[in-house]
Amino acid sequence: MRRVILGVAMAAVLSGTVPVFAQSNPFRPVVYVNEGVITQFDIDQRLKFMELLRAPDANRAGAEKALIEDRLRIIAAKQMDIVATPAQIQTAETEFASRGGLSSEQFIQLLGQNGVDPQIFRDFVTAGLVWRDVVRARVVPMVRVSDAEINQEFTKVISTPKVQDVLLSEMIVPAPEGQEDRVHAEVERLAASIHSEGDFAAAARQHSATRSAENGGRLPWTSLSHLPPSLRPIILSMHPGQVSAPLSVQGAVVLFYLRDTRGTVRAGAKDQQLQYLRLRLGDMSEARRVAATLRNCSDLYAVARPLPADRLIEQTADLGQIPADTGLVLATLDENEATVFGGDIVMLCKRTPALLAAEENQPAVPLIQPKKEDGALPATPPEDATPSREQVRDEVFNRKVSAAADAFMAELRADAIIRRP
Query: Following CA atoms 344, 345, 350, 353 in sequence, which dihedral angle do they give, to the nearest 10 degrees?
Result: 40
pLDDT of residue 355: 63
- Give me the phi and psi of 165, to 5 degrees please: -135, 150
- Rounded (5°) CA angle 171-172-177: 155
- Cβ-contact 87, 33 below 8 angstroms: no
* Biggest distance spanned by C-alpha atoms of the chain: 120
DSSP assignment of 300-342 equals: HHHHHTTS-GGGEEEEEEEGGGS-HHHHHHHHTPPTTEEEEET
pLDDT of residue 42: 95
Reported for 354-358, long-range contacts at CB under 8 A and 24+ positions apart, including other chains, are 354/268, 354/271, 354/272, 354/273, 354/318, 354/319, 355/158, 355/266, 355/268, 355/269, 355/271, 355/386, 356/151, 356/154, 356/155, 356/158, 357/273
pLDDT tens-digit readout, 194-217 = 989 999 999 999 999 999 999 999
Cα distance between residue 366 and residue 345, in whole Å: 43
DSSP single-letter state for residue 289? H
Q: How far is CA 278 from the centre of its chain?
A: 44
CATH 1.10.4030.10 in the chain, residue ranges: 26-141
User: For 162-264, which CATH class?
Assistant: alpha beta
pLDDT of residue 358: 55
- Rounded (5°) CA angle 268-269-274: 85
The half-sphere exposure of 267 on its side-chain side, counting CA atoms within 13 A, is 4
3-state class percentages of the chain: helix first, strand second, coil last, to nearest 5 = 50, 20, 30
CATH number (1.20.1250.20, 1.10.760.10, 1.10.3720.10, 1.10.4030.10) of 26-141 reads 1.10.4030.10
CATH fold label, 272-354: Chitinase A; domain 3 (3.10.50)
pLDDT of residue 293: 94
The half-sphere exposure of 152 on its side-chain side, counting CA atoms within 13 A, is 6
Cα distance between residue 102 and residue 149, in whole Å: 40
pLDDT tens-digit readout, 256-307 = 999 999 887 665 556 778 899 999 998 899 999 999 999 999 999 999 999 9
CATH 3.10.50.40 in the chain, residue ranges: 162-264
Pick from 61, 59, 76, 74: which is nearest to 30 by CA? 61
Residues of the chain with pLDDT under 50: 1-22, 362-383
pLDDT of residue 135: 96
